[in-house]
Amino acid sequence: MNEYLNVLDFGAKGDGAADDTIAIQKAIDRAAENKNTVYFPAGTYMCSGLILHAFVGLQGVCNWGYSDIGGSELKLNSDKASYLLNITNARCCTINGLCIDGNDFIGENIHGIYKDGANDAKKEDSFKIERCKISHFSGNGIHLKGAWCYSVRHSMSCDNNGHGILSESCDGFLIDNWFSGNEGAGFYSDNWTYSTTFTGNRFEWNKKAGAFIKTGDNLIFNGNYFDRSGGPGLSINTGDSFDTQCITISTNLFYRNGSNEEIADSNEDSHIMLNNIRGLTCVGNTFSAFCDDGGKSGRMSPNFGVVYARMENTVIKDNVWHRGVMNEFLVDLGGNADTLIIKDNVGRIK
């Protein structure tokens, strides 16, 4: 029987004071018996270390804003936890309409939504994170290792001490999200990310890169906004021993990236960094340089547009640099194959 289970019926208070962990876990465990959804009326539920099961949904009242908490909030209440919500074995779950809050960064390296490794069933995860705000964790807002088939949509992962999303995963869709104000990157993968589509996301004011990927293939970046990243807006920076291939970067806007003083004049002082990639198109993007909001503070950045090396079967074409950079549009670090085509990029230095 498919029905909503009200978490209040299991003893949760939602008053911002009582420890609701046991009550919420009871509701989740009961929901797993019949593949039900747990409903959270508006309120603040203090909790930690929750474990979500396969085919269970979490449904909240979605009334949060860019800088505000509202509706249904799960708030971390332990500085000893590793996570607030563990979805490692929660195949086919949906997390919808919740604020998931790290309580002003309590503890060390505590993550918001957490997945560590393949699920026990060794099948597609197929989880959905929708209309959620994940913020103020001492670790990563969303921590995904081993996710296989997943989506994050219409959500915000912001103001975390780690990354908005850390991912070693494949077959993902990230659509219409904010990744804002994180101390790390908006999206970060220091190992691998495969077959992932990034569409209509806003990567803004992250202290490191807007999005950083070490290695992967079949990646699409389409219609995203990369704004005021501390490092590059987008960095696909494969090391010597990896092979990254089949990347599409199209119709994105790159604005005033490379803002951190400590990387000034380095290769990271750029809109895009590309290294050791085969089969890449960078077409139809718009680039602009500027300082902080209001035009009166922060360094003017970036100095460079696209910094690239060791590229093969690559086209960088039909991009627009409208006051695009402070110094050079294209920085060639060498080692490229003769199948690199660069043409018809227009604009001027700011």
Query: Do 214 and 133 share a structural domain?
Result: no
Instruction: Point out the domain boundary residue: 155, 180, 195.
Output: 155
Question: What mean pLDDT do residues 307-320 have?
Answer: 97
Query: Do 231 and 114 share a structural domain?
Result: no
pLDDT score at 1: 47
In a domain, 285, yes or no: yes
pLDDT score at 343: 97
Residue 295 backbone dihedrals phi, psi, to 5 degrees: 75, 15
What percentage of the chain reaches a pLDDT higher than 70? 98
> Would you say the C-alpha torsion 203, 205, 206, 211 has a positive or negative sign?
positive
Task: Tell me the per-residue pLDDT of 75-120, one tens digit each, with 9 for 90 and over.
Answer: 999 999 999 999 999 999 999 999 999 999 999 999 999 999 999 9
Q: Of 233, 215, 238, 210, give the one whose Cα is nearest residue 309.
A: 238
Instruction: Point out the domain boundary residue: 155, 178, 193.
Output: 155
Is the pTM higher than 0.85? The answer reads yes
| 133, pLDDT greater than 90 | yes
In a domain, 330, yes or no: yes
In a domain, 239, yes or no: yes
pLDDT confidence band for 2 (50 / 70 / 90): low
Q: Of 2, 144, 20, give the one whose Cα is nearest residue 78.
A: 20
Task: Tell me the per-residue pLDDT of 171-230, one tens digit each, with 9 for 90 and over.
Answer: 999 999 999 999 999 999 988 899 999 999 999 999 999 999 999 899 999 999 999 999
Q: How far apart are CA 121 and CA 258, in angstroms?
A: 43
Q: How many domains does the chain have?
A: 2
In a domain, 172, yes or no: no
In a domain, 175, yes or no: no
- The CATH number of residue 15's host domain is 2.160.20.10
Task: Report the chain's terminal Cα–Cα distance, integer Å.
Answer: 62
pLDDT score at 3: 79
Which residue range(s) make up the domain with 27?
1-140+148-155
In a domain, 55, yes or no: yes
Query: For 239, what's the count of Cα atoms within 13 Å in the CB-facing half-sphere?
Result: 6
Query: For 285, what's the count of Cα atoms within 13 Å in the CB-facing half-sphere?
Result: 29
Question: What mean pLDDT do residues 2-13 have?
Answer: 93
In a domain, 3, yes or no: yes
In a domain, 193, yes or no: no
Query: Do 219 and 331 share a structural domain?
Result: yes
